[in-house]
Structure 1
């Protein structure tokens, strides 16, 4: 009796009725994290808003634990307009926008959030203004006539947004009512020219684009209603505003100081304030100087580690056992940095410098040491 081995079934790909040739006219870049519930509704909304236009949407997902990229891939199997980029080991809205935009060959690029709060119905008007040559960048603004900012969840988020807007407007070379907007469109060739100059830091890339452009840019705003979030969680918090402040400082220093170093120094300044407040509280409670100084220093170091792990090195954040190991190394590094600070200050004092100058010199050496070792040993790039 002979046995005939069965041949594996080979599935033949279904031949599409229409072959897609060339690139679309519009690429909508959507940076996302934990937006699985919003992917399908957003694609449906874009399909309605961009009817009659040649477009695609690129979701750039930072390895969301809720399976956002899997939803994107499922849609992409039946809809050629949907693409996904999955990023592992790196996070951040600005870098996600950069990667998504650089993956496009379309003449026009639009950027919007994946939370359904941006009014996608304005995309057609924005693209038409670019195509007509009326401007280089079109911004969906919440703060021009017809715009609405009520979708921000509470007074605290309104305050954060308004504070960031006021900071940005002091630096902008063009008049812009909503420099914190995450909803805008521009020509791809302008983005490509500007990309090498971008810092890629933080959650607000519009100001970085305008300040980094190789020449003056013409910016126009269209009114946009910022809608309430229906699913997922907002990413707007105090750390986002700190990152925005670091971006502003980076532009003031014209890039010659690494933006991560600026953020590290800002966190260090917060640690100084924490140290002073803890010492003062303990002093009022009757604790002696030595004890108060020790406790204040430890609390400041713990605060600095948490802020650096959450903010400065957000894209390299330590978790689990690695976080506890990193904390131990961080405390050792900062202790050595403190001794270096004192030693350098003493040295400068011995050369005739006053207390303030000697202390400043020691502080600079201390923060440079802490930053260099922290970046190399604790939050090293993978």
Structure 2
């Protein structure tokens, strides 16, 4: 009997298939998705596990309403944690099924291709089966506009430069694999960002055999798309972390990228204020403050998106961040002067000071400003 089939006579038993659905603000899509899965998965021992990041639109309550009536519906509500990849990891690790499948909660993945993905893995023809929009029979017509098409295509091109396997759609969020395969890779996963498939492929200690299954990508009916420029920046940072084999953490890459944006803001504001007739020292101070505010805002919404501060905590976080950066700036100047006094070249001394400041700011920001609760 195939591992994915229901036993004869309806014998009771745990699910052999878990479908993991990470979601945020998808309340309107929960019931329709459950109904679609009921139709597709008929005759199988299965469950769906919704992992909700404490959505303010009532997604968790909607999941609970379904779960009270249907034993194959489960929900996990995460408080104080955000992110698709980490949600998938928690969902898979909460399962006891032999095969796990991952799909989005926005109804854009073609649920009719779910069985093909699951059967390909259960039959042992591959380690992971991926729903691809870019093989014959597939379609990405559901992407909302040219901007989202460009983001997706750019991400695919970049990922293909680093992947150890050939894959037409590394940006896919629709795939299946055996749970024990996932668990073996889990300790090496970054868990950050939105591209869990890419994380899996780059984190595996041995190349995974991949089979691509054509699938469509349907237009979104309810809710809002999560694909934006921030997601793509997280995606690029993930590539750097994995290519460096973890020597350069994803969050540190993001922190440095934000720092570059702060430099641009500093120079721009400083020159603007200086051109208005303000003394250079005052203009430089204003530019520095502006850079700190810009850096804090970007870090809060990008680098530490999963720990984002709100309300009063955001105001207090900004104050702490500015204090941390002020100490970093003093350390930068002090180390640079010390090394220059010891006959190091100007560029070497300046670089050493800058590196120390960045490492200090990152370490203190992670442990003090955006500390985990």
Tell me the TM-score normalized by structure 1. 0.91
Post-superposition offset of 1:20 = 7.0
Partner residue in 2 for 1:312: 303
Q: Is the radius of gyration larger for structure 1 or structure 2?
A: 1
Superposition map of 1:181-330 within 5 A: 181-282=172-273, 289-330=280-321
Partner residue in 1 for 2:51: 60
Which deviates further from its counterpart, 258-267 or 82-91? 258-267
Q: Answer yes or no: is the 8 Å Cα contact 1:111–1:183 preserved in 2.
A: yes
Post-superposition offset of 1:248 = 0.8
Superposition map of 1:64-103 within 5 A: 64-103=55-94
Partner residue in 2 for 1:126: 117
Tell me the TM-score normalized by structure 2. 0.94
Q: Answer yes or no: is the 8 Å Cα contact 1:102–1:192 preserved in 2.
A: yes
Q: C-alpha distance in 2, partners of 1:105/1:228?
A: 32
Which deviates further from its counterpart, 101-110 or 289-298? 289-298
Unaligned runs of 5+ in 2: 1-8
Q: C-alpha distance in 2, partners of 1:19/1:135?
A: 29
Q: Answer yes or no: is the 8 Å Cα contact 1:198–1:209 preserved in 2.
A: yes
Unaligned runs of 5+ in 1: 1-17
Look up the SS of the partner of 1:77 in the other structure.
helix
Partner residue in 1 for 2:367: 376
Q: C-alpha distance in 1, partners of 2:147/2:225?
A: 13
Q: Answer yes or no: is the 8 Å Cα contact 1:142–1:226 preserved in 2.
A: yes
Post-superposition offset of 1:84 = 0.5
**C-alpha deviations, 1:115-169, integer Å up to 9, x for none?**
0011111001111111222111111111112211121112222222122112211
> How many residues of Structure 1 are paired with residues of Structure 2 in the alignment?
365
Of 135, 140, 151, the match for 2:142: 151
Q: 1:275 to 1:121 in 2, by over 3 A?
A: same
Q: C-alpha distance in 2, partners of 1:243/1:289?
A: 36
Q: C-alpha distance in 1, partners of 2:280/2:210?
A: 57
**C-alpha deviations, 1:23-60, integer Å up to 9, x for none?**
21211000011111000000011111222222110000
Q: C-alpha distance in 2, partners of 1:140/1:274?
A: 42
Which deviates further from its counterpart, 286-295 or 168-177? 286-295
Of 338, 341, 351, the match for 1:347: 338
**C-alpha deviations, 1:340-367, integer Å up to 9, x for none?**
1111111111222222211111111111
Q: C-alpha distance in 1, partners of 2:246/2:279?
A: 44
Partner residue in 2 for 1:7: none
Q: C-alpha distance in 1, partners of 2:187/2:267?
A: 41
Which deviates further from its counterpart, 56-65 or 285-294? 285-294
Q: Answer yes or no: is the 8 Å Cα contact 1:140–1:223 preserved in 2.
A: yes
Post-superposition offset of 1:273 = 2.4
Q: Answer yes or no: is the 8 Å Cα contact 2:240–2:248 preserved in 1.
A: no
